[in-house]
Amino acid sequence: MATWITGTVVENKRWHADLFSLRVQTEPFDFIAGQFVRLGMPGPEKRIQRAYSLVNSPSEPILDFLVTTVPDGELSPRLDQLQPGDTLEVSQPASGFFILSEIPDGKSLWLIGTGTGIGPYFSMLGTDEPWQRYEKIYLVHGVRTEADLCYQDKIREWQSRYPQQLVYQPVVTREPIIGALHARIPALIHSGELEHATGGTLDQDAQIMLCGNPQMITDAKAELAARNLNINLRRKPGNVTVEQYWK
């Protein structure tokens, strides 16, 4: 059964008007990179709570959550207003199976996310496991505007540390950005443009993780299934693992 602990905000990092990272100090607890917890605040009748993936890796003591403000949401506008010293509640233990131990081995690992769905991948990349298991890692982030391309400092650090292993490909749909692709991710898979831009191949040697907008996941799964790249299940291992992430 989940329990709740108190967290204290240490930073509310603003990326733009509707996107922020909430960094929270709690008592230590264990989790696996890719898992999520629930954040909660008191409501008029009961606790208001929503699930958010941990962006920090398990070795980092400060919890990090990437949040989009939903104007008519019950919780995100309140999280948006939190400042250092404010408190909120954090559930434990962490949950979820969108983790690397559930992913079969392969030559390449594709971490494809839209919006805040990129968050679990940062947690994974902060561990040793992906770098030890896969020859190439492709981090693909689909967003609307350049301002949504968060955590660039982390990405540059990994690019510097693993220059032959990590390929980062931004996808920005609503404005032209040098170095970014400009179509929906499923369309980029269909046309082959994603592979051409990254130098990678979406084939039987690839493990592909999809996280973010449910429509992106549905359409990308269909494109990958057309290549005989099917959903990864415990009872029947495959090439595509998904997390519908609409938070």
User: Per residue in 164-183, pLDDT tens?
Assistant: 999 999 999 999 999 999 99
> In angstroms, what CA-CA distances link 152 with 158, 187, 189, 191?
10, 25, 24, 27
Task: Name the band, by pLDDT with cuts 50, 70 and 90, for residue 246.
Answer: low
Task: Name the band, by pLDDT with cuts 50, 70 and 90, for residue 221.
Answer: very high
User: What is the value of pTM for the model shown?
Assistant: 0.96
Three-class SS of 61-98: CCEEEEEECCCCCCCHHHHHCCCCCCEEEEEECCECCC
